[in-house]
Amino acid sequence: MPKLNNRYCFTIIITLNFIAVNAFAQKESYVESLKSKNRWVDSVYNKLSRRQKVAQLLFVRAHTNKGKAYEDSVATVIKDQQVGGLVFFQGGPGRQAALTNRYQKLANVPLLISMDGEWGLGMRLDSTISYPYQMTLGAIQDNNLIYKMGQQVAYDFKRLGIQINFGPDMDVNNNPNNPVINYRSFGDNMYNVAKKGIAYFKGMQDAGLLTTAKHFPGHGDTNVDSHFDLPLLPYSRARLDSLEEYPFREAINAGISGIMIAHMNIPALDSTKHLPSTLSRPIVTGILKDSLRFKGLVVSDAMEMKGVTKYFPNGDADVKAFIAGNDILELSENSDRAIKLIRRAVRHGAISDVEFETKVKKVLAAKYWAGLNRKQTISPVNLSEDLNRQSAKDLVQQLSDASVTLLKGNTSTLKLNPFLKTAIVSIGVDGPTVFQQEVAKSYPTCRIFTVAKNTSAIELKNILAWLKRYDQIIVGIHDTRLRPQSKLDYGSDVRLLIADLASRKNTVMSVFANAYTIAGLPGIEKSNALIVCYQMTPELQKSAAKVIAGTLKPTGKLPVSVNVFFPTGTGMQ
């Protein structure tokens, strides 16, 4: 073999190092990409008529569980109006993959496919993985786990041909009775919300997914659901600047690609009567774009919601949202009407030509960043297996283990005698639970009891009589509702049963429900040990069983303030 000279060897090594470094170099962020001219974006923009340019700003609703007639009607909208994107809602992954392929063929400019996936595809689609709710994540102390979750969510979305996630929720939930945010928030501590939100969206963005922090300037302290009415946020500018806006400022500084605007009336920021923040130029352009210097995608919350249409019907809301500074109008009541009205507003000079061009090019640039300048077809081969891979399931269990919070007690109070007569009680359910089955493995002489949420007083009296025969009691309190609210839907007699059991010696309680529900269970703070697990999933029930068995150390910290006994940050280790 011929001998290579040293200079040639040196050149090869330098070249290989350069290739290796670039292989692992971080992809330029979407917001950074906007600083450079883009030939593809300019080329597409120059070929579009004014009507087609306006249409790029409209995203319409799509489902895969409403039948063929509905699917065909969406296809007609895409073909006739050439809208910019879709927002998928309920359905199944296989059907959505097929439908996305069909819809993309009808679009002259590729559609930007989006979904609300705060806890992954499982928020909308059957047969897919649901990651923990954000309140559950708020208890985790290792934010790197949340970054990893973001990467897994991005994989799922991209595998299904989705380019943008309308998440994370970066509202500070400082109202326990908030009917619309609540468990969707990382908690009531603005620093924790910011750190968790950044970890989540960075994981997604680093894996090639566009993200959207919501709901600016902060929907966490409202008692009205903006789906049904217009909430009022009556606080001062100073309070909003220092609290509600804090996570969004931090997200902007960390490079978030998009921000969604809330439908709220905020007199301190815009005194116009009944004006939702979505339609306010002082808020959307003045504060978000000018003061906070956000350069990414500004997305409206759904334009079909009563919070915005109640006072601005018949397409007026669409035009005002466009003029206010939103780049993407999500779910107009009538997209064809919206396109016509906005086109007329552009013609009449409602905003400058430069601003209009910037909006459209931002949407096109998002498509380019997501790889839509090249044809993408979703393969149905192994789709279900890919979306339900073991590595993702293992991460869900890791996240669950890391979130478990011991509100009261310690290692000794958790450690019950496995040889004593033990009752394992699950409350709020109609049959045995994963929690009971897992705990029972450590207690050979146990008996399982279930108590339905509306069990009668007579039945409860009989159960209590039975339980007196046991030396120690392990209790699970379960919320079986799909969305865990701040108050349990238990009968008053069942609540009294919980207080009775908590007052006994050798009682360990685990709450598989929204942490706020603890405030509605007076007396529960007296239990020997109290664990909160935030939601009723098989993984969290296994996590609690591991804590009781002594094989898992509870490291979670309470992300919200429940009452005087359990303020934010509570968590024994």
Average pLDDT, stretch 77-93?
Answer: 98
Q: Work out the mean pLDDT of the chain and round it to a whole number.
A: 94
21 pLDDT exceeds 70?
Answer: no
556 pLDDT exceeds 90?
Answer: yes
pLDDT of residue 10: 40
pLDDT of residue 475: 98
Average pLDDT, stretch 249-262?
Answer: 98
Average pLDDT, stretch 349-366?
Answer: 98
pLDDT band at 25 (very low <50, low <70, confident <90, very high): very low
pLDDT of residue 27: 79
Question: Which pLDDT tens digit goes with each residue over 86-129?
Answer: 999 999 999 999 999 999 999 999 999 999 999 999 999 999 99
Which one has a higher pLDDT value, 523 or 22? 523
For helices 143-159 and 390-403, what crossing angle results, to 10°? 150
502 pLDDT exceeds 50?
Answer: yes
**Alpha carbon of 323 to those of 198, 329, 559: distances in Å?**
29, 11, 38
Question: Which pLDDT tens digit goes with each residue over 372-400?
Answer: 999 899 999 999 999 999 999 999 999 99
Q: How far apart are CA 276 and CA 267, in angstroms?
A: 10
Average pLDDT, stretch 63-74?
Answer: 97
pLDDT band at 411 (very low <50, low <70, confident <90, very high): confident
pLDDT band at 26 (very low <50, low <70, confident <90, very high): low
Residue pair 318/301 in contact by the 8 Å Cβ criterion: no
Q: What is the DSSP letter of 456?
A: -
Average pLDDT, stretch 48-60?
Answer: 98
pLDDT of residue 271: 96
Asked whether the whole model's pTM tops 0.85, one would answer yes
List helix spans (H) across 160-226: 190-206
421 pLDDT exceeds 80?
Answer: yes
- Where do the domains of the chain lie, and which CATH numbers do they carry? 38-388 (3.20.20.300), 404-549 (3.40.50.1700)
Average pLDDT, stretch 427-455?
Answer: 96
pLDDT of residue 253: 98
Question: Which pLDDT tens digit goes with each residue over 216-227?
Answer: 999 999 988 999
pLDDT of residue 2: 40
Residue type, 356: F
pLDDT of residue 243: 96
3 pLDDT exceeds 70?
Answer: no
pLDDT of residue 573: 76
Burial of 398 (0-12, 13-18, 19+ CB in 10 A): middle
pLDDT of residue 8: 39
pLDDT of residue 23: 35
Question: Which pLDDT tens digit goes with each residue over 131-150?
Answer: 999 999 999 999 999 999 99
Q: What is the DSSP letter of 353?
A: H
Q: What percent of the chain has pLDDT over 90?
A: 92
Q: How far apart are CA 486 and CA 518, in angstroms?
A: 9
Average pLDDT, stretch 311-328?
Answer: 97
Burial of 480 (0-12, 13-18, 19+ CB in 10 A): middle
**H-run or E-run covering 458:** helix 457-467
Question: Which pLDDT tens digit goes with each residue over 141-194?
Answer: 999 999 999 999 999 999 999 999 999 999 999 999 998 999 999 999 999 999
17's CB contacts (< 8 A; 6+ apart) are none
CA atoms within 13 A on the CB side of 40: 17
pLDDT band at 523 (very low <50, low <70, confident <90, very high): very high
